[in-house]
Structure 1
């Protein structure tokens, strides 16, 4: 069977609405190399829809302002109208919407969103505690997990620092019933919301609160992160992800978490993590005041923007962090830089690393 040819694209679904048996979809998309996006594969409710109206090349200045280096950025917006019969209207409610851009003979990265979700959303307070924009970020990262890290529908998944279950929320629409999700976090009110809202609807999604000390998030915690053993068996998970976790941890804690990630991953398992990577470009942008994070205060093997409460934001020298990952048996498969430091070309806000477990972790053997 011939594999699908892929081309890198950027994009987002901004609006999804069902009105009078018509599914309305609005968003933007562009090819990194400037090729024209010819159309989309539209799927929702377990069905591909062939008949739809597509208006593309819509002029708007907002995409150009956010992505100045994206070719044809002023004309990247699109509008799709999918006519539905009564049965299809019911079928697509509370379902995952996927749009796959078509660029010549290639397919771009699939854009994901949800149609009239039935799962309640967290309160504004809980959403704010994990950074806001709950649904947008949830489905953005589902896209990264699928498109960039190869998450499969049947994978057993570990979410380190799960918060309210923001990404778990999106995963409920992607993972199959035979898959499994485990998440843990140090903020009790966030974990409780996920336990009360997601687990009763999806028994294969489990959340637990752990009492790990963190000066910023859990100053009364009783256990050191550098000594915390993930409460799971060896080689149990196909996939581990951490979003904005290493950005609040000091070096000794990161070493230990890398060791634990290696332990709980199956051989060949994958990991996606986000971080603030310090390199020549990001350091230059910090120096000229373009960065949102002023990571200039040096600690032991890391940098912070607040020496009084270092765990509020922490960054690492890229070469050093990647070496630690290799030392703990995790090879870097892909690297995607973020806009946090003010760069023009980026994938998300934080930098994203995709890792793969090798059969042996060298540091574990030495220790």
Structure 2
């Protein structure tokens, strides 16, 4: 049953056990403090602000606590960038039972991940997908609405899209959602971050970014001179795109970009395969 819980619409599910929470907390602390883990130089981090290790550790916590990620899961990281999410996952995923695949349109980020992550963690693999994006890969061979990822049906238990939908038009979010539906196992989950613009958000003094109307109804730009730098949508548009792809929305957790208390900045949508076991 769904329930309204503060900033969150959630499905009741078991919390982490004390042992699981302790293990997760130790891993997150290790990711932040262990200077031997791979990390690019700051000038090579082409997406995302803030501390590379700290943000990666934070999202590992969200993946597990909100998204239900397990150490044995087969993980697809859509928009893996320069490995910010992959590095903490090297410490959490089971080296024998799990699998990680990262895809991104930016060649330099993929090459860094192969050289610095796959070389140490061979069950972590990375692949460039030459999709066009006006900011990150303007010369790409394929449009985002044509996205097809080189993996077989139902081959992943957990698919992450962190800071991807915040840089895509709604038609491409819909295309990615359809492809994710194909790739999710019957018990799989999508963890997607986005900017969902709700009634009252635009009037909040502390909201960052400050959205202005985009060219299409229900679309909002954080930077009108670079629309895909930060793009938001009326909540119903994103949820409709996800549902029409055949996914079921399990949880929506609102972020603190709008000036409210929250554990995460962007909004989080958790969606599941229709074949998810009861």
TM-score (norm 1): 0.65
Residue number among 246, 250, 254 corresponding to 1:337 in the alignment = 254
Query: Structure 2 vs 1, CA of residues 132 and 190 (structure 1 numbering), >3 Å: closer, same or farther?
Result: farther
**Distance in 1 between residues matched to 2:78 and 2:125, nearest whole Å:** 12
**Distance in 2 between residues matched to 1:252 and 1:152, nearest whole Å:** 31
Aligned: 1:237 with 2:156: yes
**Distance in 1 between residues matched to 2:20 and 2:208, nearest whole Å:** 37
Q: CA deviation at 1:98?
A: 2.2
Match of 1:175 in 2: 93
Structure with bigger gyration radius: 1
Q: CA deviation at 1:297?
A: 2.4
Contact persistence 2:256–2:264 (CA under 8 A): yes
Contact persistence 1:119–1:197 (CA under 8 A): no
1:1-367 → structure 2 map (5 Å cutoff): 98=25, 112-114=28-30, 115-127=33-45, 129-177=47-95, 178-285=97-204, 289-300=205-216, 301-343=218-260, 345-359=261-275
Structure number with the bigger relative contact order (C-alpha 8 A, sep ≥ 6) is 2
Higher strand share: 1
- DSSP-derived class of the 2:180 partner: helix
**Distance in 1 between residues matched to 2:24 and 2:63, nearest whole Å:** 16
- DSSP-derived class of the 1:154 partner: coil
TM-score (norm 2): 0.85
Contact persistence 1:216–1:312 (CA under 8 A): yes
Query: Structure 2 vs 1, CA of residues 194 and 290 (structure 1 numbering), >3 Å: closer, same or farther?
Result: same
Higher helix share: 2
Contact persistence 1:337–1:347 (CA under 8 A): no
Q: May I ask how many residue pairs the two structures share in their alignment? A: 257
Unmatched 5+ residue regions in structure 1? Answer: 1-7, 9-40, 49-95, 100-110, 361-367
Provide the aligned C-alpha RMSD in A: 2.4
Query: Structure 2 vs 1, CA of residues 263 and 279 (structure 1 numbering), >3 Å: closer, same or farther?
Result: same
Query: Structure 2 vs 1, CA of residues 130 and 187 (structure 1 numbering), >3 Å: closer, same or farther?
Result: farther
Contact persistence 1:120–1:197 (CA under 8 A): yes
**Distance in 1 between residues matched to 2:246 and 2:159, nearest whole Å:** 14
**Distance in 2 between residues matched to 1:254 and 1:42, nearest whole Å:** 37
Unmatched 5+ residue regions in structure 2? Answer: 6-17
**Distance in 2 between residues matched to 1:187 and 1:216, nearest whole Å:** 10
Which one is further off, 326-335 or 166-175? 326-335
